[in-house]
Amino acid sequence: MTNLSFMNNRKSSGINMRIIHRYLGFFLAGIMAVYALSGVVLIFRDTDFLKQEKHEEKVVDAGITPGKLGKALGIKGLKVTKKEGSMFYFAQGTYNQETGQAVYTTKNLPLVLDSMTKLHKANTGHPLFWLNIFFGLSLLFFVVSAFWMFRPATPAFKKGLYFALAGMVLTLVLLFV
């Protein structure tokens, strides 16, 4: 009787894992698509791929030093390449130290892609970082629950273990090479 009770519990836990896996997968289909697209876009973040140029004029405090100009304009890694009188020249544009007028070009992703990549990179300072935690834990659940999709004695399960092992080896090679 104990063995049958154990088998029924094991069977029901396997069925429950499949059901949760299925409906959580459907529930997260949209966010998985967003993370997949934004992940691919983020690979090209150091290039101009898909970025649109925008010419901007901004008046900031006059007399800003070259070291503080990037922060004032919101341009990371800004380096002044030339100074003529009160004019500072940098790769993206110019800044007049006397008037505080800056004329420069920015390159940004289209609004939807920009929002998607910001969500993808959200940290604890972003209000939606809990979504990233939930999504990460859900992906971890998918990893574990995938092993409940087939009974351990079946050829599909055994083949699945070989594929899982191959995936782990590939990941380790990519991480450490």
* Same domain as 122, residue 167: yes
* Same domain as 149, residue 71: no
* Same domain as 146, residue 118: yes
* Same domain as 40, residue 121: yes
- What's the rounded Cα separation, in Å, for the pair 38 and 35? 5
Residue 11 has what pLDDT? 61
Annotate 54-105 with DSSP letters as a single string. Answer: EEEEEE--TT--HHHHHHHHT-TT--EEEEETTEEEETTEEEETTT-EEEEE
Residue segments in the chain with a per-residue pLDDT below the cut of 70:
1-11
- What's the rounded Cα separation, in Å, for the pair 170 and 122? 27
Q: Which structural domain range is residue 78 located in?
A: 52-108
DSSP tag of 168: H
Number of domains in the chain: 2
* Same domain as 127, residue 99: no
* Same domain as 40, residue 58: no
- What's the rounded Cα separation, in Å, for the pair 55 and 73? 13
Residue 14 has what pLDDT? 82
Which of 63, 56, 93, 64 lies closest to 78 in space, CA to CA? 93
Task: Name, in order, each residue with C-beta under 8 angstroms of 147's C-beta and a sequence gap of 6 or more.
Answer: 157, 160, 164
Q: Model pTM?
A: 0.73
